[in-house]
Amino acid sequence: MRALSVISTAFVLAAFMAIAAFFFGHSSYNSAGPLESPEIVLIESGSGVSQIAAKLDQQNVISSALAFKVATHLTHRQSSLKAGEYEFPSHISLRAVLDKLEAGDVILRQITVPEGKTSYEVTQLINGKDDLTNNGALRLAKIPPEGSLLPETYRYQSTDTPESIIARMTTAMTKTLDEAWGNRAPNLPIKTKEEALVLASLIEKETGVKDERKRVAGVFINRLNKGMLLQTDPTVIYAITKGAHKNDGKGPLGRRLLTKDLGIDSPYNTYKYAGLPPGPICNPGKASIEAALNPEKHDYLFFVADGTGGHAFGKTNAEHLKNVSKWRKVRKSQ
């Protein structure tokens, strides 16, 4: 009978301790944490639960690394915690910490490079990101080669450097150009990937209309095949600015391109020198690169703005002059 009483007492005590542990754990799980002010924590890729717990404990986000590990185990989240840069608010609970890590609710840092920007302009974009350049202390000192950067949206963390972003842009451009080159149309007057990049940059600067890129590419290909001057205004602008475009809302020159500008003596001036210019005049996007290597087949040799954002295409000089006349009337009315 005495043995039965001892067993009964032990059972009650164990039950009491389990209930106490449950309520204590539930309280710790949901109650406010020790963090006094918002804290940014970088969880490195490949970090395990123990490493994450240690990092959060070290930065006072949680009150106990052991409690974090136990809670992670009991809620079956061992494999669902995501790496990244997190901002934890003050007094965040253990439960909210785990929810945040499981959701991947990271700080969104990103830079978007629009298609057609010059490397000078991309450098300005990067140097304007204080959270990437450490308030200007890590600014890029050297402008990357023209055409070497793929326009895209790039995410980054506060530990990244401007040089690391440039490296990713360069790698992305190399990969995109290689893939497009491997899928190029036959019998093009484009002999190298570098020439394809140059042509793509002209297409990028001539039209922002998605459905026109391959048609514009076809015009340039037709003119190259016939040995005609390409006569594209953006190359003259680049000859004048070297890509250091003005940003005052009045165009890259800060004024309208003038007839006298077309006579500038520069290898980039396609009104003066035949063939492609010696290098890209901007950083073209993927669509323009693909258009350069898979142009539309047609007989057009000319195009001019039509006043709607697109272009009017002509097969003969007579057709082109009519389109130019229409464009001048539109521009005059504007």
227, 233, 209, 236: which is closest to 291 by C-alpha? 209
What average pLDDT does the segment 289-299 reach?
98
CB 232 within 8 A of CB 206: yes
Pull the structure tokens for residue 34: 């020790």
Phi, then psi, of 243 in degrees rounded to 5? 90, -10
What average pLDDT does the segment 191-216 reach?
97
CB within 8 A of 321, min separation 6: which ones? none
- Low-confidence winner among 88-92, 118-122, 132-136, 180-184 (lowest mean pLDDT): 132-136
pLDDT bucket at 97, cuts 50 / 70 / 90: very high
Report the share of the chain in percent with pLDDT over 70: 92
**One-character DSSP codes across 13-59:** HHHHHHHHHHHHHHHHHHS--S--S-EEEEE-TT--HHHHHHHHHHT
- Low-confidence winner among 121-125, 188-192, 247-251 (lowest mean pLDDT): 247-251
Give the predicted TM-score (pTM) of the model: 0.83
Question: Which structural domains are found in the chain, ordered by start?
Answer: 32-107 (3.30.1490.480), 110-166 (no CATH), 187-333 (no CATH)
